[in-house]
């Protein structure tokens, strides 16, 4: 998977970013979230094990273990397979946050 970047500047969640959960040798995703200077917001990263391409399924969102209730830059990772990731701004006054995902493998 190529690096994926998404920026959000309002309350709510981004669209799901599908992840290649079938990496053969090892699975790993690095996550970096950068909050624009002067922003007043709170965000979290969420993941799902559901197929986000199946329109008959409403994906269940799970919070990342450490990237929750953040107001400043943060980073983390996923060491085990998941199907998709999204950024969710839970409180918003102003500004934006950008999330970048880097996955191991092709």
- Number of Cα atoms under 13 Å in the Cβ half of residue 64: 25
Q: What is the pLDDT of residue 66?
A: 97
Residue 72 has pLDDT above 90, yes or no: yes
How is residue 70 annotated by DSSP? B
d(CA 106, CA 67): 25
Here the tokens at position 59 are 């994906």
Contact 91, 42 (CB under 8 A): yes
Model pLDDT for residues 40-57, shown as the tens digit of each residue: 999 999 999 999 999 999
Q: According to the model, what pLDDT value does residue 106 have?
A: 59
Tell me, which fold does domain 4-103 have in CATH? Jelly Rolls (2.60.120)
Ranges of each domain in the chain = 4-103
Residue 51: predicted pLDDT: 95
User: In this predicted structure, what is the pLDDT of residue 90?
Assistant: 98
Average pLDDT over residues 58-67: 98
Dist. CA 8–CA 98, nearest whole Å: 7
CA gap 63, 70 in Å, rounded: 12
């Amino acid at each position: 998977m190529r690096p994926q970047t998404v920026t959000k500047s309002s309350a709510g969640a981004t669209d799901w970013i599908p992840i290649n959960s079938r990496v053969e040798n090892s699975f790993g995703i690095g996550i970096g979230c950068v909050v624009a200077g002067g922003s007043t917001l709170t965000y979290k990263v969420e993941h799902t094990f559901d197929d986000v391409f199946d329109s008959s399924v409403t994906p269940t969102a799970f919070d990342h273990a450490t990237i929750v209730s953040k107001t400043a830059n943060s980073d983390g990772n996923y060491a085990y397979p998941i199907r998709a990731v999204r950024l969710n701004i839970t409180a918003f006054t102003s500004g934006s946050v950008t999330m970048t995902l880097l996955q191991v493998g092709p």
